[in-house]
Amino acid sequence: MDGQQKRAWVVGASSGIGAAVALKLADAGYLVAASARNETALDRLATEAGGSVRAYPVDIRDGESVGRTLGEIEETMGPVDLAVFAAGIYRRDEPGRFAADLVAKTVDVNLMGTSHCLDAVLGRMVPRRSGHVAIIASVSGYAGLPGGGVYGATKSALITLAEAIYPELKEKGIAVSVINPGFVQTPLTDQNDFPMPFMISAEDAAGRIVRGLQSRRFEIAFPKRMVYLLKLLRLLPYPLFFAVTKKMLRADRV
């Protein structure tokens, strides 16, 4: 293969934002390793990309499998220049009932799964003193919103993690980006039965993400109106903050 061609690893590439980013990176000239649990969906994506995307199925909840998969990717494709971690699960908190099992499942994928990927890729990028890691979090990580406490908690943790590792990794020649989308039309948001303002398509989101990655920005957040509103909400004193979030309560809460 052309030694000048850059290589990307996109995790969570079976659908939604991850699949759209994989295709957008392939269009930008990357050779893309696409990972997710759904091997059939990955094969369809690879076929659609016409050779620029290769399927490497993996369950990111298994750290050893993640490490082996990355080893296979680098053995067959070469060193990964850019890693995009888009895998995640979401289920709206149920009204009136806190479910610890939902917390465990969401943390296992969104936080621990991403951590397994970081562990594997940084173990290879740090010795090379080069690379770029991008973590897809969410604007829901800015503030605690009714119905999104569990999902938002994992995304807030990812934002904090990205902020914490940025300074040291920059000194080692590795860029870190955190991606905070608002509502994007994906299989995750298709399950929602409430208004989702400023919704954009996965293809639109992928274009914004890839442009942000090319500029190596730390935070890539969109759409701007939702970003500004939620960041402003976070700055309010708690009495005002809760006055706003109370309006988000569902009528069917128990």
d(CA 55, CA 38): 10
**Which domains are delineated in the chain?**
7-248 (3.40.50.720)
90 among known catalytic residues: no
d(CA 78, CA 131): 13
d(CA 138, CA 193): 19
Considering the candidates 56, 151, 166, 228, report the single residue annotated as catalytic: 151
Does the structure show a pLDDT above 80 at 185? no
Does the structure show a pLDDT above 80 at 220? yes
d(CA 179, CA 201): 16
d(CA 31, CA 175): 19
Task: Give the Å distances, CA to CA, from 121 to 19, 31, 64, 149.
Answer: 20, 17, 12, 29
Supply the pTM of this predicted model: 0.93
pLDDT of the residue at 251? 47
Q: What is the pLDDT of residues 71-111, one digit of tens each?
A: 999 999 999 999 999 999 988 887 778 899 999 999 999 99
